[in-house]
Structure 1
Amino acid sequence: MVEFYIPIEQDSKDFGTPEIKGEDLKAITLSIDGWPVTVPEGTSVMRAAATMNIQIPKLCATDSLEAFGSCRLCVVDIEGMRGKPASCTTPVAEGMVVTTQNTALQKLRRNVMELYISDHPLDCLTCAVNGDCELQDMAGAVGLRDVRYGFDGENHLNMEKDTSNPYFTFDTSKCIVCSRCVRACEEIQGQHALTVDGRAFESRIVAGDSNFMESECVSCGACVQACPTAALTENSVIEQGTPSHFRTTTCAYCGVGCSFRAEMRGDQLVRMVPNKDGKANQGHSCVKGRFAFGYATHQDRVLDPMIRDSIDQPWKKVSWDEAIAFAAQRLTNIRDQHGVNALGGITSSRCTNEETYLVQKLIRAGFGTNNVDTCARVCHSPTGYGLKTTMGESAGTQTFDSVQQADVVIVIGANPTDGHPVFASQLKRRLRDGAKLIVIDPREIDLVNAPHVRAQYHLQLRPGTNVAVLNALAHVIISEGLEATAFIEERCEADAYNKWREFIAQASYSPEELEGATGVPAMLIREAARLYAKAGNGAIYYGLGVTEHSQGSSAVMAIANLAMATGNLGREGVGVNPLRGQNNVQGSCDMGSFPHELPGYRHVSDPEVRALFESEWGVPIDSEPGLRIPNMFDAAVAGRFKALYVQGEDIAQSDPNTQHVEAAMSALECLIVQDIFLNETAKFAHVFLPGATFLEKDGTFTNAERRISPVRKVMAPLSGKADWEATAALSNALGYEMNYSHPSEIMDEIARLTPTFHGVSYEKLDQLGSIQWPCNDEAPEGTPTMHIGNFVKGKGSFVVTDYVASEEKVNKRFPLLLTTGRILSQYNVGAQTRRTENSQWHQQDVLEIHPLDAEDRGINDGSPVRVASRAGEVTLPAKISNRMQPGVVYTTFHHPVSGTNVVTTDNSDWATNCPEYKVTAVQVKVAVEQADWQARFKQFDEQQKAHLSAATQEGES
């Protein structure tokens, strides 16, 4: 593989040659500067000129925003038209004759630019964006050589800077009020945080009532990217200078899988800029992917392997060879003494496909057991089970772009603006264009009342009643004859449908009968069901609020039933779309991380499948499924399970019933943790192998839309090894040879063994940018939309989904239901985002509680409260919020000091053991002690530093 970087100069902010959509539009032929050109009807003169590589000067226009026509630089002459119209807002017409350059136009543009410059600081040589400034470029393009107007008159040169945002600075003195930032905030992000205040000379851009941090700004960076001057500039650019080169890679946060240009100066990462060619994000980003990359070089990074004989001893820094030898010896001793089933491993949804594949291969071929599981177990394992059962494939059906064709969208158990913000921006854009929205969630998420977006229906159900609500929706569709009969007859199994129809038509599943259980008024369910069933295109998007329940698999199948019953599958604008939590949840599942499935979701009991892998791997594979994560914990406590290899996962913080998890970790004779930081799990480890961030490795991630995207190294691994290299070294030390020189060779092996990946290669990824599986001979460039014509399994299977109430019920002792979720600025257990400036927005987890519940308990806003369940108790600050319904409380789990999962129980999904995080019966009381939150965080930080210090001292000694 050839390593290379692309100079920044090769990718300017110029208008370029834009993609012109609308092939079915009428073709228009016109003349520009004497040359004929044919473009689709509706194309602007500026875009038509760009197709001929004629670049008309501009400032307010950009290829990512609607035309505005305010800067007056892009004026042209059009034969027969009065004045000099703006080319960005003037549509082409048949026979139009356009002149883009002559003496009069040049003089006019120079005069306009002169006015801009007369109220702009002339500090180009010391300006942070010198050489990367469109105002500077346009001054050169129009030939401006002198400014006749003095700077001693009224001007804006001494305006104060807004430095409130930790990631960028707003220098008002350099703002030309082109409104690109305002339009980017509205059109791309849909946030409306910026406005133009005043008129004429007094006009200026304002954020909220005072500054960016106190406004509705979500720090997505769209305004910074849109700004043509240095008015909005990344602080990293101000501090380090403009980048010199970049390499395209994929974000390692949520399941959207945004493509970014990692822009470098030497070997230093200056900024992450969303890639305009990124098919998942199309040039947009969120605060995490755009700005929160500082954790990669944070001082808390552990860069040396460490070992210790027991967890009550300090860490000892050692070489890679010594750490690998130590780990291999321990594993070998345990295997020889207790057998292969005493060993196991956990793969990571944060690591690449190639690295995850190698870990499960190590467990199966090197350890000799199927005791491998993944952190995807605790989030989306019901998705795999439910979708494979009903439609034959364990993944979502559409591209993110598909939502632009939807007429009605159901969002259930997901909060896209916080968990998947770039997709949420796409969704809000479609809603502003007229699509209808149904939200099914116990909490009033942002989409219910977002700016310029309002849900038609919010079905505010009680936690744990998803299946009841979904069945009630289906009951209305069937009982009122709203089902898609032709689709069902053609595409679905008749016997399964008839059985399901008889089940769902029962009076016990009517909205009226279930109203007492769900808390949702029957009429709202009836109206929502009619809206979805009558939609031309109806799409369903769901998240962890569906899967993390004791009936998670049932809920996924109920969603599939609903989509099949209404014919909303197999085309654009419809579908069943899981919003995956972490960056590679889909990929970790694809790669065979479950104890019963080999890569490609093929059961280990299938002799033909095993024979394929045995031939490639050269060892026999056990035909019996191994232990799932909860079974590993139980077996460890019972003394039967002795060794665990954990790759990139903090199970002591993220898994439910923390006390039980810690008891299992304490019982292990060998715990190997591979991560970038000493996390909560590492406190119980005997071997610590330093991990690499996504910036330090090559590989691929697979996002929520099955999109396989390239991850490309922009800096050398700070610890000396990428994660795949560490796994291979351990395997070799155990006697099972893994000899790869590059991750591309691992992908080649995956492609040989996995039907849905047969056509995937690094060469093709470099050519296409990304690929949605299945990618094979039938679909050599991938499959954007699944189940066109027929389902993967042939006929779709309706499944009876009985509503079974959760065992976790409220009572006098625990009268409230706790549900959990995420917040925009933080990610998962917070290991990465807590080590960035994102903590300025969310410094601690809080407990949201309805005013009535707070009043009953004497709780004030900000008061420390004790949250107790049958599993444990924690103390959190209270936040009184009308987002909650009475009887339900809510918190996040981003801070280990909060210990949210101390109170969650070990209840789990009936089919997959996915934990029931979303339903925990609790009591909330004012804490007796007045907790000093800052002191608690300081104490926690000091404990972490002491942990590192002990390792350093031992290593030095």
Structure 2
Amino acid sequence: MMLSLNDSHPDHDLGTPARESAQTVTLTIDGVEVSAPAGTSVMRAAIDAGIEVPKLCATDSLEPFGSCRLCLVEIDGRRGTPASCTTPVEAGMSVRSQSPRLAKLRKGVMELYISDHPLDCLTCSANGDCELQDMAGAVGLREVRYGYEGRNHLESKKDESNPYFTYDASKCIVCNRCVRACEETQGTFALTISGRGFESRVSPGMDEPFMESECVSCGACVSACPTATLQEKTVIELGMPTKSVTTTCAYCGVGCGFKAEVKGTEVIRMTPWKDGKANEGHSCVKGRFAWGYATHKDRVTKPMIRARITDPWREVSWDEAIGHAASEFKRLQAAFGTNSIGGITSSRCTNEETYLVQKLVRAAFGNNNVDTCARVCHSPTGYGLGQTYGTSAGTQTFKSVAKADVIMVIGANPSEAHPVFASRMKRRLRQGARLIVVDPRRIDLVAGAHVKADFHLQLRPGTNVAVVTSLAHVIVTEGLDDAAYVAERCDDKSVQQWREFVARPENSPEAFERETGVPAALVRGAARLYASGSANGTAQSLADAMAAGGKRPNGAIYYGLGVTEHSQGSTAVMAIANLAMVTGNVGREGVGVNPLRGQNNVQGSCDMGSFPHELPGYRHIGGAEVRAQFDQAWGVTLQPEPGLRIPNMFDAALAGEFKGLYCQGEDIVQSDPDTQHVSSALQAMECVVVQDIFLNETAKYAHVFLPGSSFLEKDGTFTNAERRISRVRKVMPPLSGVGDWEATVKLSNALGYPMAYTHPEQIMQEIAALTPTFAGVSYEKIDRLGSVQWPCNDSTAEAGTDIMHVDRFVRGKGRFVITQYVATDEKVTRKFPLLLTTGRILSQYNVGAQTRRTFNSQWHDEDRLEIHPQDALDRGVKDGDWVGITSRAGETVLRATLTERVQPGVVYTTFHFPESGANVITTDSSDWATNCPEYKVTAVQVMPVAQPSTWQRAYKDFNEDQERFLADARLGAAVTVTGK
């Protein structure tokens, strides 16, 4: 019998991983002839051949360790009984995994484990889900010759400090799996084994509480634990789940796959899915644990209407709410014209739901006044990459970072905002990849405990274009560019013009040094490192290395909102695209331009045609041929002119021309800039329909509230930052009785445009039929393959396209774009001498509507203002003081945190709590091409104050009213919520 093993296992997979391009060797295990790649462990080969080998310290996601001594085997010609997890296969090897000798040894090992373990299986919360229990049965252990009520577990105490899981030292078998998971999978190195022999313990947990340690609560240790030592509190309280549903996380753009494990319709735990391509079994604190918001008491599950925003809400039926909204929209269009209403899609909703909203606007409203929250985050990505490469998305898979030699992170903080990807990247950095960080702030990657950047270009906010263009200047003038790649792959005319532009003296690091604040020597060193792999690299050394059989280093760029949310956001994206092209770093593994998307379906909301100028698949509304296709499919005549962007909607509302808005799953009052401008615009509208799971800030100004659904109540798909389309599957029925897509269908039907879908799968079938890049996408294929990546059609592999622009750019020849640096209008003055920039923190998400309703607030319960100690000293500010922050747009109050993470002259805050009012002070300055707000640069003054601002007190009053409303509504009382 011959079993042929493929090498498609994860790199860290039950023992010694197979080496790349390894030869296949043949061996015999228990009389079965097995073929496996050289370097594969005996355990891996045995398991793939269907031969089970007992194990405790080995898992399918960690490097081999060889400590438990259960996976012992006998090998002909070798002395002793080696551990199969650490023994690589060899040609001709004859292995026995079962024998009387091995059985006796394994029983002895298990006796020792059990002797120091409480025998409380029947009452243990892990009963039935315990590997120690399983292995005791597997080796046939029936009695223990040693006592088991030792002082180790009698004296041990539980650490219950973490809100999501407990640590029970009495049940620890010191297998090291939690420690190794923290190191290898997460990369935090928060756990160690302290003590020796019977005194061995995991620390933290015994010596210090988890909540006082460096633990980031990703859950990797909990997943790795084979006993009940580390276990979710929900399992302890509610018991073991009875079934699981595979779905996709609804937080950031990484798009982690999860198994939602349930009992009935109650979620017991979320377990990272090992077959999830984006995360491969890893997770962060939000996706793993912060899902309780879905059943939080604040959920609004009944539709409500009111005539004016100062009137009390009145609970009504779905039919009445939909009928009222449709009637109002018809009235407004009759009175003010077809273009007087519009809609906003959500980056938190599914592709199918987003597609329906833009279809509703175009087919039922009869205009193109549709936009998405991607407008305020990554719209410059769509524009910039579309102009240079021909498609509005990143070029790589997340896994590609494992092949990168030099990694550049610009305006992104993956450790906080995209932690699962950050763990992948840190693993590569620990393996020797070099790192360049371009950020105004000293983020974790700059000088972490186990990762240190080779270069930190700590630029002043607003000067990204200057820095990236000066990097290109060095590469071109020093001959470090990949001339052969550029000649073959890029447009000749644009290349020549761009080279002349970047080579100008005014684009040198020295010329920009005063503007950016970055020493020219650092810029030059970083440029050489990115282009050649060495900070001292020269054109000659690079040529010599390649002549000797070497290759150019793989340079990968990852960027975030610190690039896009600027007045030159689109210019910066194009500058990054130029940099990757000129060095030949597009079109293979380990390279590329990779936008780190903020929300779970930002990519999908853009793909689905949510912008006012584009139909699904990024096809311009002005194209007659494309428009005719949709006209025929939808049975309407679409308007050829682009509609209003979100900022245009606000301006038109204040001008009395825009009167109605359907806002699905987006809190524009909290998330959009210049809050007072946004709220004034909403107040000027006559019918605002908000569809959400909570009464958010925007709902203060709504006339109709439609209950939304959480991701646990949805069927559909999300598309992550690597263009990966993954299934979202319903775990429980919608609490309101109506799904988000069904509400849109109801509204469309009430407006007189019939929609007859009965399941989201039908919507995806329509998307695939009308969108060339989605032509090969289907639920059947996603269910079978786990996920697919667009473009996915007849011209791609079945699972779509993992690496973009391999042989040619989507647009044909890559296009270089002149990226002239233009200083932001938002400049420091005597009145506003500091620059405010913003970002995220690990435990909270976006506007905080979800995470603030979980235990995650135990880590971060308020937004704070980070200020350099010198700036604080100049203003008489001490750590923890309340400070007033004023800008040209407004004022707010925060507590101060003194830190050298920010440079003098720069202050920083997060925006997860409405009462912080971060967007009360941001201005209406925006990107020249896309109107993406310039959140990252606001000139401010900071001064100590005695108490919170008027704005915050008003917010607090409103929240108290809202809480009373929700409490009374649960009792069936009619109360008033005022819009203070």
Map of 1:917 onto structure 2 = 935
- Secondary structure, aligned partner of 1:430: helix
How do 1:494-573 and structure 2 match up within 5 A? 494-535=492-533, 536-573=553-590
Alignment of 1:110 with 2:107, yes or no, is yes
Map of 1:869 onto structure 2 = 887
From the superposition, tell whether residues 100 and 934 of structure 1 become closer, same or farther in structure 2 (CA, over 3 Å).
Answer: farther
1:484 corresponds to which of 479, 482, 485: 482
Map of 2:611 onto structure 1 = 594
Map of 1:7 onto structure 2 = none
2:739 corresponds to which of 707, 722, 725: 722
Alpha-carbon separation, structure 2, partners of 1:339 and 1:566: 52
Offset, 1:40 = 1.0
How do 1:88-167 and structure 2 match up within 5 A? 88-151=85-148, 153-167=150-164
Is the 1:311–1:684 contact (alpha carbons within 8 Å) kept by the matching residues of 2?
yes
Alpha-carbon separation, structure 2, partners of 1:624 and 1:29: 66
Map of 1:907 onto structure 2 = 925
Moved more, 203-212 or 311-320: 203-212
Map of 1:641 onto structure 2 = 658
Alignment of 1:804 with 2:816, yes or no, is no
Offset, 1:944 = 2.6
How do 1:224-243 and structure 2 match up within 5 A? 224-243=222-241
Alpha-carbon separation, structure 1, partners of 2:624 and 2:971: 53
From the superposition, tell whether residues 202 and 622 of structure 1 become closer, same or farther in structure 2 (CA, over 3 Å).
Answer: same
- Secondary structure, aligned partner of 2:609: coil
Map of 1:245 onto structure 2 = 243
From the superposition, tell whether residues 186 and 404 of structure 1 become closer, same or farther in structure 2 (CA, over 3 Å).
Answer: same
Alpha-carbon separation, structure 1, partners of 2:149 and 2:479: 76
Map of 2:761 onto structure 1 = 744
Q: Deviation per CA, 1:51-70: give whole Å up to 9, x if none.
A: 22111111111110001011
Alpha-carbon separation, structure 2, partners of 1:733 and 1:512: 63
Alignment of 1:892 with 2:910, yes or no, is yes
Alpha-carbon separation, structure 2, partners of 1:152 and 1:819: 57
Map of 1:6 onto structure 2 = none
From the superposition, tell whether residues 918 and 32 of structure 1 become closer, same or farther in structure 2 (CA, over 3 Å).
Answer: same
Is the 1:316–1:955 contact (alpha carbons within 8 Å) kept by the matching residues of 2?
no
Q: Deviation per CA, 1:236-259: give whole Å up to 9, x if none.
A: 000111111101000000000000
| Structure 1 stretches lacking a partner, 5+ long | 1-14
Map of 2:190 onto structure 1 = 193
Moved more, 698-707 or 200-209: 200-209
Moved more, 90-99 or 841-850: 90-99
Map of 2:673 onto structure 1 = 656
What percent identity do the matched residue pairs reach? Answer: 69
How do 1:818-897 and structure 2 match up within 5 A? 818-897=836-915
- Secondary structure, aligned partner of 2:907: strand
Alpha-carbon separation, structure 2, partners of 1:936 and 1:203: 54
Map of 2:361 onto structure 1 = 363
Is the 1:906–1:915 contact (alpha carbons within 8 Å) kept by the matching residues of 2?
yes
| Structure 2 stretches lacking a partner, 5+ long | 1-11, 534-552, 976-980
How do 1:45-60 and structure 2 match up within 5 A? 45-60=42-57
Alignment of 1:401 with 2:399, yes or no, is yes
From the superposition, tell whether residues 846 and 518 of structure 1 become closer, same or farther in structure 2 (CA, over 3 Å).
Answer: same
Offset, 1:942 = 1.9
Alpha-carbon separation, structure 2, partners of 1:153 and 1:826: 42
Alpha-carbon separation, structure 2, partners of 1:716 and 1:298: 15
Offset, 1:869 = 0.3
Is the 1:259–1:274 contact (alpha carbons within 8 Å) kept by the matching residues of 2?
yes
- Secondary structure, aligned partner of 2:594: strand
TM-score (norm: length of structure 2): 0.95
1:383 corresponds to which of 381, 384, 397: 381
Is the 1:897–1:936 contact (alpha carbons within 8 Å) kept by the matching residues of 2?
no
How do 1:615-626 and structure 2 match up within 5 A? 615-626=632-643
1:687 corresponds to which of 697, 701, 704: 704
From the superposition, tell whether residues 366 and 566 of structure 1 become closer, same or farther in structure 2 (CA, over 3 Å).
Answer: same
- Secondary structure, aligned partner of 1:126: coil
Is the 1:255–1:580 contact (alpha carbons within 8 Å) kept by the matching residues of 2?
yes
Q: Deviation per CA, 1:298-349: give whole Å up to 9, x if none.
A: 0000000000011110000000001000101000100111111100110000
How do 1:455-474 and structure 2 match up within 5 A? 455-474=453-472
CA-atom RMSD in angstroms: 1.7
2:80 corresponds to which of 64, 79, 83: 83
1:421 corresponds to which of 419, 428, 434: 419
Q: Deviation per CA, 1:657-698: give whole Å up to 9, x if none.
A: 000000001111000000000000000000000000111110
Q: Which amino acid aligns with 1:674?
A: Q
From the superposition, tell whether residues 133 and 632 of structure 1 become closer, same or farther in structure 2 (CA, over 3 Å).
Answer: same
- Secondary structure, aligned partner of 2:154: coil
Is the 1:316–1:952 contact (alpha carbons within 8 Å) kept by the matching residues of 2?
no
2:174 corresponds to which of 174, 177, 197: 177
From the superposition, tell whether residues 949 and 315 of structure 1 become closer, same or farther in structure 2 (CA, over 3 Å).
Answer: farther
Is the 2:406–2:433 contact (alpha carbons within 8 Å) kept by the matching residues of 1?
yes
Alpha-carbon separation, structure 2, partners of 1:52 and 1:934: 64
Offset, 1:781 = 2.3
Is the 1:252–1:583 contact (alpha carbons within 8 Å) kept by the matching residues of 2?
yes
Map of 1:8 onto structure 2 = none
Alignment of 1:62 with 2:80, yes or no, is no
Is the 1:327–1:687 contact (alpha carbons within 8 Å) kept by the matching residues of 2?
yes
Map of 1:37 onto structure 2 = 34
- Secondary structure, aligned partner of 2:585: coil
Is the 2:118–2:148 contact (alpha carbons within 8 Å) kept by the matching residues of 1?
no
Alpha-carbon separation, structure 2, partners of 1:940 and 1:185: 43
Map of 2:547 onto structure 1 = none
Alpha-carbon separation, structure 2, partners of 1:518 and 1:428: 28
Alpha-carbon separation, structure 1, partners of 2:949 and 2:647: 33
From the superposition, tell whether residues 955 and 316 of structure 1 become closer, same or farther in structure 2 (CA, over 3 Å).
Answer: farther
Alignment of 1:629 with 2:626, yes or no, is no
Offset, 1:101 = 1.0
Is the 2:13–2:59 contact (alpha carbons within 8 Å) kept by the matching residues of 1?
no
- Secondary structure, aligned partner of 2:166: strand
Offset, 1:932 = 13
Alignment of 1:454 with 2:452, yes or no, is yes
Offset, 1:93 = 1.8
Q: Deviation per CA, 1:851-889: give whole Å up to 9, x if none.
A: 100111111111000010010000000000110000000
How do 1:781-796 and structure 2 match up within 5 A? 781-796=799-814
Offset, 1:48 = 1.3
Offset, 1:158 = 2.8
Offset, 1:24 = 2.2
Offset, 1:284 = 0.3
Is the 1:635–1:641 contact (alpha carbons within 8 Å) kept by the matching residues of 2?
yes
Is the 1:465–1:518 contact (alpha carbons within 8 Å) kept by the matching residues of 2?
yes
Alpha-carbon separation, structure 2, partners of 1:264 and 1:18: 32
Q: Which amino acid aligns with 2:778?
A: S
Offset, 1:931 = 8.6
Offset, 1:134 = 0.0
Map of 2:960 onto structure 1 = 942
Moved more, 748-757 or 947-956: 947-956
Alpha-carbon separation, structure 1, partners of 2:44 and 2:354: 45
Offset, 1:85 = 1.1
Q: Which amino acid aligns with 1:901?
A: N
Is the 1:400–1:423 contact (alpha carbons within 8 Å) kept by the matching residues of 2?
yes
Map of 2:3 onto structure 1 = none
Is the 1:814–1:923 contact (alpha carbons within 8 Å) kept by the matching residues of 2?
yes
Q: Which amino acid aligns with 2:362?
A: R
Offset, 1:38 = 1.6
TM-score (norm: length of structure 1): 0.97
From the superposition, tell whether residues 142 and 953 of structure 1 become closer, same or farther in structure 2 (CA, over 3 Å).
Answer: closer
Is the 1:263–1:269 contact (alpha carbons within 8 Å) kept by the matching residues of 2?
yes
- Secondary structure, aligned partner of 1:37: strand
